[in-house]
Amino acid sequence: MALARAWSVALVGLEGALVEVEADLAQGLPGLTVTGLPDAALSEARDRVRAAVVNSGEDWPSKRITLGLSPASLPKRGSGFDLALAAAVLAAAGVVPAAALHDRVLLGELGLDGQVRAVRGVLPAVLTARSAGITRVVVPRANLAEARLLPEVEAVGVATLRELLALLRGEAVPDHPVPEPVEEDDPTPKDLVDVAGQPGGRTAVEVSAAGGHHLFLLGPPGAGKTMLAERLPGLLPPLTLEQALEVTAVHSVAGLLPPGHPLVRRAPFQDPHHSSTTAAVLGGGSGIARPGAASLATQGVLFLDEAPEFGHGVLDALRQPLESGRISIRRAAGTATYPVRFTLVLAANPCPCAQPSDECTCRPESRRRYLTRLSGPLLDRVDMHVQVDRVSKAEVFAEEGSVEPTSVVAARVARARATAAARYAGTPWTCNGEVPPVELRRRWPVPRPATRSAEAALDSGRLTARGFGRVLRLAWTLADLAGSAVPEQCHVDHALGFRLGTRGLPVAA
């Protein structure tokens, strides 16, 4: 009897677990049995691995072969186990030394011709290997740059099964040049300098970026709502390494990493179309759920343009992740959990006809109904409600240099974020938008006389108790931007204006 073991990784969402692949060769009628894979994947894996071995010039052992993947209870999907399956069979047959497989994790799909194909989720799989104490990994060559994001892991890329076998025999593997990770330069950086006029809208995106506050932009078509939203990610600081690895892992599982520059360093921006399904926005799909736009936007911006046009299901489903910062999607094969810590930006026209107000043909009740599609509970979680109006001709033709570019505003945002992060050192929060208003009022109260206007709004019913807490939270961001140690009356007044910015419409409060 001949036995060999190889290691691979199974992923459920971003969570990985080590999988042991065992090959047993016994005398008897030649055949191949695989256990531990879901039925549909079984026959495909069997055929691919056998064809790849034969087409790589190796003999397929004429034995009774049993391949087992364990733990059996672990959901194992995808074709990333092929390399480990092939290596285990060939090690059991004595073609490669079994010892070479002991401290390596093998990831990769095989083509029938023996080519090694790229797989999704290499970064989270390599993270899993590392936390299990295995620091040598073999990955498809196309995924090598991604695997090398973790410097303490020794990653080798193989383009063919033959290269893998050579590596395991201790022979030199052709050293394919890994494309140098290049800075992903957005080909068309969107700069605030392009937005004419709109002082209120410009301040709104600055404040949103500085505090991580969700933002609702309401205004007529052509006012520049989309322009403003698209410029928000450029105001956010570059991701920290920890954030970058998290965002990259999500994009990796979704199969969206560009091979040349695998590390996502900038705050992502996702703008799903309003016809998108709940699965597309929140994650889903068969097998193990894939991340949706909300998770792809984590640490960045999720922009819902024409927000009232989104399906009720989508808008409702956003509420839970806004509270918890994570989303768990259950499927028969397992429950995948993804991070969803984005800044939400909603944009809407005041009415469904999307005409300037003097040309609007909508009946009053359809105007009213249109915005109520954005449910109160969703809008209640959005700290800033901002009305943007059309820019005037004078503003459009204002001389160059009359508005600030992104670089200037981003510097203020960075300073304000640093102030907030210092205040929240030792807590789970780094920016004002993350701190629950209750905690904020208890631990970082705004001195009493400064809150006069907000208290009056509370008394008169223009502000709910929940809204009151959110106004004070926003006031902290305005104080951080202004360099004040605590919010002053002007900051509270300004924050109140942001909260009640769409006053008169059914969504205010």
Ligand X SMILES: Nc1ncnc2c1ncn2[C@@H]1O[C@H](COP(=O)(O)OP(=O)(O)OP(=O)(O)O)[C@@H](O)[C@H]1O
Q: Which run of H or of E encompasses 40?
A: helix 39-55
Taking the least distance from each CB to Mg ion, the nearer of 226 and 276 is 226
Q: Tell me if 227 contacts ligand X by CB under 6 A.
A: yes
Q: Tell me if 457 contacts ligand X by CB under 6 A.
A: no
Taking the least distance from each CB to ligand X, the nearer of 25 and 345 is 345
Strands 15-26 and 31-35: unpaired
Taking the least distance from each CB to Mg ion, the nearer of 203 and 226 is 226
Using CB under 6 A, which of 197, 321, 352, 487 touches ligand X?
197
The interface region with ligand X, picked from 157-165, 216-224, 254-262, 425-433 by CB under 6 A, is 216-224
Q: Tell me if 234 contacts ligand X by CB under 6 A.
A: no
Taking the least distance from each CB to ligand X, the nearer of 167 and 307 is 307
Taking the least distance from each CB to ligand X, the nearer of 196 and 450 is 196
Count of residues binding ligand X (CB under 6 A)?
15
CB of 233 to ligand X, least distance (A): 15
Structure letter (DSSP) for residue 117: E
Residue 485 class from Cβ within 10 Å (0-12 exposed, 13-18 middle, 19+ buried)? exposed
Strands 343-348 and 215-218: parallel
Q: Which residue is nearest to ligand X (CB)?
A: 224
Start-to-end CA distance of the chain, whole Å, equals 75
The interface region with Zn ion, picked from 15-23, 302-310, 318-326, 351-359 by CB under 5 A, is 351-359
Q: What's the rounded Cα separation, in Å, for the pair 356 and 354? A: 7
Taking the least distance from each CB to Mg ion, the nearer of 120 and 202 is 202
CB of 349 to ligand X, least distance (A): 5
Taking the least distance from each CB to Zn ion, the nearer of 419 and 502 is 502
Among 167, 172, 47, 59, smallest CA distance to 111 is for 47
Taking the least distance from each CB to ligand X, the nearer of 201 and 467 is 201
Q: Tell me if 223 contacts ligand X by CB under 6 A.
A: yes
| Interface with ligand X in residues 385-414 (CB under 6 A) | 391
CB of 362 to ligand X, least distance (A): 14
| Interface with Mg ion in residues 216-275 (CB under 5 A) | 226
Contacts 24+ apart (CB under 8 A), 37-40: 37/69, 37/76, 37/81, 38/75, 38/76, 38/77, 38/333
CB of 221 to Mg ion, least distance (A): 7
Amino acid identity for residue 298 in this structure: T
CA angle 46, 51, 57 (to 5 degrees): 135
Count of residues binding Mg ion (CB under 5 A)?
1
- DSSP states of 366-415: HHHHHHHTS-HHHHHT-SEEEE--PPPHHHHTPPTTSS--HHHHHHHHHH
Q: What's the rounded Cα separation, in Å, for the pair 389 and 409? A: 21
64 Rama class: left (phi>0) / alpha (psi -120 to 50) / beta = beta
Q: Tell me if 355 contacts Mg ion by CB under 5 A.
A: no
Residues with Cβ < 8 Å from 459, sequence gap 6 or more?
none
Q: Tell me if 353 contacts Zn ion by CB under 5 A.
A: yes
**Interior/surface letters 11-27, b for 16+ CB within 10 angstroms, e for the rest:** bbbbebebbebbbbbee
The interface region with ligand X, picked from 131-139, 221-229, 232-240, 426-434 by CB under 6 A, is 221-229
User: Which residues are registered as beta bridge partners of 137?
Assistant: 105, 155
- Tell me, residue by residue from 354 to 393, as one string, x for binding to Zn ion by CB under 5 A and - for no binding: ------x-x-------------------------------
Q: Tell me if 489 contacts Mg ion by CB under 5 A.
A: no
Q: What's the rounded Cα separation, in Å, for the pair 442 and 465? A: 15
> If DSSP codes are grouped into helix, strand and coil, which group holds residue 20?
strand
- Which of Zn ion, Mg ion, ligand X, none interacts with 353 (beta carbon under 5 to 8 A by kind)? Zn ion
Using CB under 6 A, which of 196, 205, 301, 457 touches ligand X?
196
Phi, psi angle pair for 5, to nearest 5°: -125, 140
CB of 372 to Mg ion, least distance (A): 20
CB of 305 to Mg ion, least distance (A): 5
Q: What's the rounded Cα separation, in Å, for the pair 494 and 453? A: 10
Q: What's the rounded Cα separation, in Å, for the pair 145 and 147? A: 6
CB of 107 to ligand X, least distance (A): 43
Using CB under 6 A, which of 48, 50, 213, 225 touches ligand X?
225
Per the structure block, which two tokens stand in for 202? 């410009």
Q: Which residue is nearest to Mg ion (CB)?
A: 226
Q: Tell me if 222 contacts ligand X by CB under 6 A.
A: yes
CB of 220 to Zn ion, least distance (A): 9
CB of 340 to ligand X, least distance (A): 24
Taking the least distance from each CB to Zn ion, the nearer of 304 and 351 is 351
Per the structure block, which two tokens stand in for 244? 């970058």
CB of 234 to ligand X, least distance (A): 15
Owner of token pair 């879901």: 38
Q: Tell me if 505 contacts Zn ion by CB under 5 A.
A: no
Q: Tell me if 108 contacts ligand X by CB under 6 A.
A: no
Among 78, 76, 252, smallest CA distance to 150 is for 252
- Which of ligand X, Mg ion, Zn ion, none interacts with 362 (beta carbon under 5 to 8 A by kind)? Zn ion
Interface residues with Mg ion (CB under 5 A) are: 226
Contact residues toward ligand X (CB under 6 A) are: 195-198, 219, 221-227, 349, 354, 391
The residues binding Zn ion (CB under 5 A) are 351, 353, 360, 362
